Amino acid sequence: MTRHLQHENFLEKQRQILLELGNDITRVREKNDLITLFSKRIKGLFYFTHTMITLIDVLDDTYKPFLLDHESSPIRTHPDYALLVNARFSLDEPFIKSVLETDYPVIFELEDEMAHPQSPVFLRANYDMGVKQVLMMKLMNADKPIGFIHIYSDRTDSFTQDFKDIIRRISSQLSSAVSNIIKNEDIRKKEEEKSFLLDFSNDMTSVRTKEDLAVVVRTTLRKLTPEGGYVIRKINEDDLTMSAYVYDPGTARGNPSLLKEVLSAKFPINDGLQNRVLDSYIPLLFSVSREAERGIKSKYLDLWQDMGFKTMVGIALRNGNVNIGLLWLSIDEINIPILQGICAQIAVAMNNIMANEELLRKQQEQSFLLDFSNDIAGVMAKADLETAVFKVLDRLLNTKLAMLRLIDDDGQHLSPYMFDKSLFEGLVSDFDKLSEQKITTDEHYTALVLKSSGALVLNVEEQMQTAHKQYAALWGKTGFKNMYAAVLKVGDQILGTIWMLADHLSMPLFKGICAQISTAVSNIKASEKISAYRKRLEDENDYLKEQIRTIYNFSEMIGSGKQMQQVYRLISLVAESNSTVMICGETGTGKELVARAVHNASLRKDKLMIKLNCAAMPANLIESELFGHERGAFTGAVERRIGKFELANNSTLFLDEIGEMPMEAQVKLLRVLQEREMERVGGKTTIKLDVRVIAATNRDLEEEVRAGRFRSDLFYRLNVFPIKLPPLRDRIEDIDALTEFFLSKYAKTTGRKVTRISPKVMQQLRSYLWPGNVRELEHVMERSVLLANDHTVREIYLPDDSIGSVQLSELPGNRSLEEVERTYIIEVLKRCSGKISGTGGAAEILGIPGNTLHSKIKKLQIHKADYFSN
Ligand SMILES: Nc1ncnc2c1ncn2[C@@H]1O[C@H](COP(=O)(O)OP(=O)(O)OP(=O)(O)O)[C@@H](O)[C@H]1O
């Protein structure tokens, strides 16, 4: 075959191969097919060992392997092969620059290149594996270099002019094929990103809690970086620091105590690293070692180094424009859209979780406060408050009552009221002494809390650095981080201050607890005041009872004559029984005294005897007086009133002047005496009674019964144990003793030193008839003591000397007592010009109540004509 023919054949073959290569290139879908097909076809024409296509990255002025002809590459057994495949090579060195400068293929002898240290390392690897030459040509797209085709040969004469021509001719086809592959890869990558984010977004819809979030984020990030670790840090309430929120150290193994420390620490936002992430709108990639070299001292950097994380990407987590935290992820390569997509969704989820947590916290706080309010509602004593407070603090966990101080009555001082003794046990030797101290409202911390809006929180460590560290030093010893203080007040009234130690306490919860303690303290104080007041009343009551007992002492009944001896005997007999006693006797004979003597000698003596004067009550009121009434029982009954019967329950009811009781009331009284129970007027409930009744009258009740003015059945009910008191004129033997008794009694009460009575006066006293009985004698003596000029009573002032003496001298021995009384009353009435009661009235002179005089007038049938006639 001629040379020419040979050449023609070669050209034909070349055309054929180039045509096939063109077809191949248009069909290529898988990027590595391109290089293998290319190699195969070209190898049909020329000799070479292997080829490679590298791509330029304009972002960092590098180029990196893109398509590799693995199978035929002699360097695939080279120890650095794996590194080289993933390496990036600088565009800023003479070797590659010479390729970029020309539109033609360039051939290099590797032997020569080994002399240039700047030449890319892949040349050295090829050289090491016996490669001698390399043909390089840039690949262009739209007038811009996008990469290079490398063809290597282990011979020195492979790259002939024909070879170079062919490469130059197919370079544009190769370029567009590479561009297409890049475009396709881009599209596929975007689709993958989309479906990745879609999957993530689907997973995120089920996230409700921090724990859910941790699971979804871990699964997703593992897909991006199977071995990487991450931490999501949340900005703390102080807006100055960040703490770990959700994390996963990945497969890295680090120092566990360092990990624990970093996870529980608060890191300042402005640490030179985190602030850069928060300020950036795109994810930032950091080299851990470079940042450490730059002088960033954060502990988490030490941890990353310890865990072997080389590069970390930081992405801000934002809600709208507000930073809420950041994500640190250990990863080598960053895919900005994916990371931004993930972080946007994490931020939304975190926001929802935090809102949920806040809602839950509020609900928990409310139910907590409700429980506390139930516990504290009925508290009326300090001990109960103490129990309730310690119980609530126990439930709060790690919160202690350091001190509750109350403002003294002077408004200037505060005294300790309550505190947790166990808190300071063993910390201060003389805490008891310290806790007893009163402080003033000017004391630094007290003034601080009083000036506050109601509550404040003090950082113990910070306070220990201040000039006022006396208390802070003590707080510091307890180990708690914060002191929570509040003013205890109800309305505008400040009651005191409260101090609680805790590491963390929700302010709304603390305020809620303090408000309830305030109410309880105020209730306790009020209740203590009421108790003190009641105690005083009880003491006064005891004193009064004692007084009454002394005044009306059984033993102070004067008179030891035969008749009075009999009376005493009857009193002793009946006292201890519960029998109804009926005391009869003229006015002033001492019926009430006897009634009290019976009561005081009875088992009911510790209770007050209740007295009702039946004559002094209008008939229409006596019923309500006896039985009480309900509100609205009748016009004027504006509120419920307790009647004498109810008051006398378990004691004695003394019904004085029973003979004057109106008939209607007599019926009601009878019913109570029979049934021992009653209802209030207008009331529906029956009240059981245990009342001992003592009645007294100066009327002849049997006569009253006969005359139809007193119910016989009631009379028999009352007249169970009658005691009849003799008139004074029938027991002249007692007059001396009584006179002596009243003399000393009134000398004492008036402060006059009157000690004796002249024999003349004594004689007068003995001979007087004493219509007003002992009461009259008592009054006479009271007046006489006041009028005496020296130590001796030399004159007495009887109502009217003339009456007494005249009557005495004129008294015929055969007149009945009634007649004498009648004459005497008529005389007195005459002197008073018919005036019966009131000042200067006959009743006053006679020393008897007006009603008694009225009854006597009626009984003795004294008519106006008798005393108005002359
Ligand atoms: N035996 C006595 N010893 C000392 N004081 C007496 C004695 N009897 C009566 N008195 C005194 O006389 C006064 C009148 O007594 P009291 O009120 O008990 O009489 P009364 O019979 O109930 O009178 P009236 O029927 O008017 O109610 C009282 O101050 C009482 O202390």
Q: How far is the CA of 507 from the centre of ligand 1 (A)?
A: 74
* pLDDT confidence of residue 510: 92
628: left (phi over 0), alpha (psi -120 to 50) or beta: left
* Whether residue 298 has pLDDT greater than 80: yes
Using CA positions, which residue lies closest to atom 25 of ligand 1?
A: 587
* pLDDT confidence of residue 800: 57
Q: How far is the CA of 594 from the centre of ligand 1 (A)?
A: 8
Binned at pLDDT 50, 70 and 90, residue 6 comes out as confident
* Whether residue 176 has pLDDT greater than 50: yes
Q: Are 466 and 359 in contact (CB under 8 A)?
A: no
The verdict on 697 and 809 lying in the same domain is no
User: pLDDT tens for residues 140-153?
Assistant: 998 999 999 999 99
The verdict on 31 and 133 lying in the same domain is yes
* pLDDT confidence of residue 243: 94
User: pLDDT tens for residues 21-34?
Assistant: 778 777 777 778 88
CATH code for position 702: 3.40.50.300
Q: How far is the CA of 590 from the centre of ligand 1 (A)?
A: 3
As a whole number of angstroms, the distance between CA 113 and CA 133 comes to 10
Ligand 1 atom closest to residue 594's alpha carbon, by position in its atom list? 18
Angle formed at CA 841 by CA 837 and CA 845, multiple of 5 degrees: 110
Q: Are 407 and 413 in contact (CB under 8 A)?
A: yes
* pLDDT confidence of residue 54: 95
The verdict on 628 and 587 lying in the same domain is yes
Last residue of a domain, one of 124, 159, 188: 188
The verdict on 290 and 338 lying in the same domain is yes
As a whole number of angstroms, the distance between CA 417 and CA 424 comes to 16
Residue type at 548 in one-letter notation: I
Q: How far is the CA of 855 from the centre of ligand 1 (A)?
A: 19
CA 251 → CA 227, 286, 308, 870, distances in Å?
5, 20, 11, 136
pTM value is 0.46
Q: How far is the CA of 591 from the centre of ligand 1 (A)?
A: 6
Any idea which residue has 């309880």 for tokens? Answer: 520
Does a structural domain hold residue 330? Answer: yes
Cβ of 314 below 6 Å from ligand 1: no
Residue (of 799, 802, 869) closest to 834 by Cα position: 869
Cβ of 698 below 6 Å from ligand 1: yes
The verdict on 36 and 147 lying in the same domain is yes
Using CA positions, which residue lies closest to atom 29 of ligand 1?
A: 775
* pLDDT confidence of residue 707: 92
Ligand 1 atom closest to residue 587's alpha carbon, by position in its atom list? 25
The listed range with the strongest mean pLDDT (433-437, 756-760, 815-819) is: 756-760
As a whole number of angstroms, the distance between CA 114 and CA 864 comes to 164
Q: Calculate mean pLDDT across residues 39-62.
A: 90
Q: How far is the CA of 676 from the centre of ligand 1 (A)?
A: 30
The listed range with the strongest mean pLDDT (225-234, 271-280, 466-475) is: 271-280
The listed range with the strongest mean pLDDT (15-19, 548-552, 695-699) is: 695-699
Q: What is the DSSP letter of 617?
A: S
Cβ of 774 below 6 Å from ligand 1: yes
Cβ of 403 below 6 Å from ligand 1: no
Using CA positions, which residue lies closest to atom 10 of ligand 1?
A: 590
Number of domains making up the chain: 5
Does a structural domain hold residue 200? Answer: no
Cβ of 585 below 6 Å from ligand 1: yes
Name the percent of the chain lying above pLDDT 90: 42
Does a structural domain hold residue 544? Answer: no
Cβ of 726 below 6 Å from ligand 1: no
The verdict on 280 and 399 lying in the same domain is no
Cβ of 234 below 6 Å from ligand 1: no
Ligand 1 atom closest to residue 583's alpha carbon, by position in its atom list? 21
User: Which segment of 490-499, 536-545, 813-822 scores lowest on mean pLDDT?
Assistant: 536-545
Binned at pLDDT 50, 70 and 90, residue 434 comes out as low
Q: Are 828 and 803 in contact (CB under 8 A)?
A: yes
Output b/e per residue, 247-274; b: 16+ Cβ within 10 A.
Answer: bbbbebebeeeebeebeeeebebebebb
Does a structural domain hold residue 7? Answer: no
Binned at pLDDT 50, 70 and 90, residue 343 comes out as very high
CATH code for position 106: 3.30.450.40
The verdict on 182 and 246 lying in the same domain is no
Residue type at 244 in one-letter notation: A
* Whether residue 571 has pLDDT greater than 80: yes
Domain around 141: 14-188
Residue type at 646 in one-letter notation: E
Q: Are 133 and 109 in contact (CB under 8 A)?
A: yes
Name the percent of the chain lying above pLDDT 70: 94
User: pLDDT tens for residues 502-560?
Assistant: 998 888 899 999 999 999 999 998 888 888 888 778 766 765 665 555 444 555 788 88
Q: How far is the CA of 774 from the centre of ligand 1 (A)?
A: 6
As a whole number of angstroms, the distance between CA 750 and CA 476 comes to 72
Q: How far is the CA of 726 from the centre of ligand 1 (A)?
A: 12
Q: How far is the CA of 405 from the centre of ligand 1 (A)?
A: 59
Q: How far is the CA of 853 from the centre of ligand 1 (A)?
A: 17
Ligand 1 pocket mutation pick from 555, 593, 742, 837 by most atoms within 8 angstroms of CB = 593
The verdict on 19 and 80 lying in the same domain is yes
The verdict on 716 and 767 lying in the same domain is no
The verdict on 212 and 275 lying in the same domain is yes
The listed range with the strongest mean pLDDT (628-632, 678-682, 704-708) is: 704-708
Q: Are 682 and 637 in contact (CB under 8 A)?
A: yes
* Whether residue 471 has pLDDT greater than 90: no
Using CA positions, which residue lies closest to atom 26 of ligand 1?
A: 587
Does a structural domain hold residue 201? Answer: no
Q: With both helix axes pointing from N to C terminus, report the angle between 3-27 and 31-43 in degrees, rounded to the nearest 10.
A: 170
Residue (of 376, 373, 443) closest to 407 by Cα position: 443
User: Which segment of 116-120, 329-333, 479-483, 539-543 scores lowest on mean pLDDT?
Assistant: 539-543
* Whether residue 570 has pLDDT greater than 50: yes
Residue (of 356, 370, 244) closest to 300 by Cα position: 244
Ligand 1 atom closest to residue 590's alpha carbon, by position in its atom list? 18
Q: Which residues contact 748 (CB under 8 A, 6 or more apart)?
A: none
Cβ of 590 below 6 Å from ligand 1: yes
Does a structural domain hold residue 231? Answer: yes
Residue type at 255 in one-letter notation: N
Q: Are 783 and 776 in contact (CB under 8 A)?
A: no
* pLDDT confidence of residue 582: 97
The Cβ-side half-sphere exposure at 279, using a 13 Å CA radius, reads: 8
* pLDDT confidence of residue 815: 65
Q: Calculate mean pLDDT across residues 5-23.
A: 80
* Whether residue 188 has pLDDT greater than 90: no
Q: What is the mean pLDDT of the chain?
A: 87
Does a structural domain hold residue 293? Answer: yes
Cβ of 697 below 6 Å from ligand 1: no
* Whether residue 838 has pLDDT greater than 80: no
* pLDDT confidence of residue 585: 94
Q: Calculate mean pLDDT across residues 363-369.
A: 88
Ligand 1 pocket mutation pick from 562, 592, 856 by most atoms within 8 angstroms of CB = 592
Ligand 1 atom closest to residue 697's alpha carbon, by position in its atom list? 25
Q: How far is the CA of 547 from the centre of ligand 1 (A)?
A: 17
Does a structural domain hold residue 365? Answer: no
User: Which segment of 161-170, 308-317, 350-359, 528-537 scores lowest on mean pLDDT?
Assistant: 528-537
The verdict on 710 and 572 lying in the same domain is yes
Q: How far is the CA of 552 from the centre of ligand 1 (A)?
A: 10
Q: Are 288 and 302 in contact (CB under 8 A)?
A: no
Q: Are 501 and 482 in contact (CB under 8 A)?
A: yes
* pLDDT confidence of residue 405: 93
User: Which segment of 2-6, 205-209, 402-406, 545-549 scores lowest on mean pLDDT?
Assistant: 545-549
Q: Are 428 and 434 in contact (CB under 8 A)?
A: yes
Using CA positions, which residue lies closest to atom 30 of ligand 1?
A: 590
Ligand 1 pocket mutation pick from 654, 746, 775 by most atoms within 8 angstroms of CB = 775
The verdict on 345 and 383 lying in the same domain is no
Ligand 1 pocket mutation pick from 589, 654, 698, 746 by most atoms within 8 angstroms of CB = 589
